[in-house]
Amino acid sequence: MKIGLFGIGSGPCGDPEVALAAARAAEAAGLESLWTGEHVVLPDPQAPPSPAPPEFPMLHPSTILAYLAGVTERVKLGTGIVLLPQRNPVVLAKELASLDAVSGGRLLFGLGVGYLEAEFDALGVPFAGRGARADEYIDAMKALWTQDAPSFQGKHVSFSGIQARPRPIQQPHPPFIVGGMSPGAYARATSRGNGWYGFALDLDGTARALEGLREAAKQVERPDDLGRLEISVTPSFTPDRESLAKLEDLGVDRVIPILRGRDREGIAAFIEELASELIR
């Protein structure tokens, strides 16, 4: 089982120096990966389904991960998740290829379609049709990262006669890890993803999600070159050895607990306790 850590760029880790200390502690403790979240803006005042108060700090994913790449050597760096329909995929492909390059090939590209309509409105991006937009953007980014002469023609993005270098270090590209617990997300992970990511799930919720993925696999063709779908979950609880074993039995490959602690010392203690319980 791979053990990651979610929240490296938000909350207390919205302070870059706290994030730096947490990243070094996590790598020293043997954790496999560090994961960010993303919201460009949050509604003010907070109202459902907004996940956090408007003052909650969230560093830009590739910015904080590039910063941490320079102070770590082995730990993988995951976007958990980039809100793909809100981005220009050509710019994002350059941004993430650069992150993969400066980190020595450690990027895990988690993506989702988003759910806060106010955030889309602020960015001037249509909320409707965001799933189809995300599907197209995945295909466009793969073209930029893998084709000798990148070319793509779609409804929302088109290009040809261009190059975007450097390419990612990982070949053929960093893994696309599709987040979400809707039928559309399950289909997207099955047809286009190297992995799937579920956030804030208990054991029953994880089981339901994996059943949703199995149903999607009956309906949607999975290209052979994608290989097996890797399953990553951030549980709604801090796992212990018993719950970790149950998640593994369900078919989970990577568990990404939410970082706990209000300051540098509390975060360091949490990471040590987590590693002692789940790794050592």
Residue-range domains of the chain with CATH: 2-278 (3.20.20.30)
Tokens of 28: 């020293």
Rounded to an integer, the average pLDDT of 185-190 is 98
**148-171 pLDDT tens trace:** 999 999 999 999 999 999 999 999
For the cut 90, the answer to whether the pLDDT of residue 112 exceeds it is: yes
Rounded to an integer, the average pLDDT of 98-112 is 98
Share of the chain above pLDDT 90, in %: 100
**3-18 pLDDT tens trace:** 999 999 999 999 999 9
What is the band of 280 on the pLDDT scale with cuts at 50, 70, 90?
A: confident
Residues 6+ apart with CB under 8 A from 84: 92, 111, 112, 113, 133, 134, 137, 138
Rounded to an integer, the average pLDDT of 118-141 is 98
Q: Is 63 exposed, middle or buried (0-12, 13-18, 19+ CB in 10 A)?
A: middle
What does pLDDT average to over the chain?
Answer: 97
Rounded to an integer, the average pLDDT of 93-112 is 98
pTM attached to this predicted model: 0.97
Share of the chain above pLDDT 70, in %: 100
d(CA 25, CA 10): 17
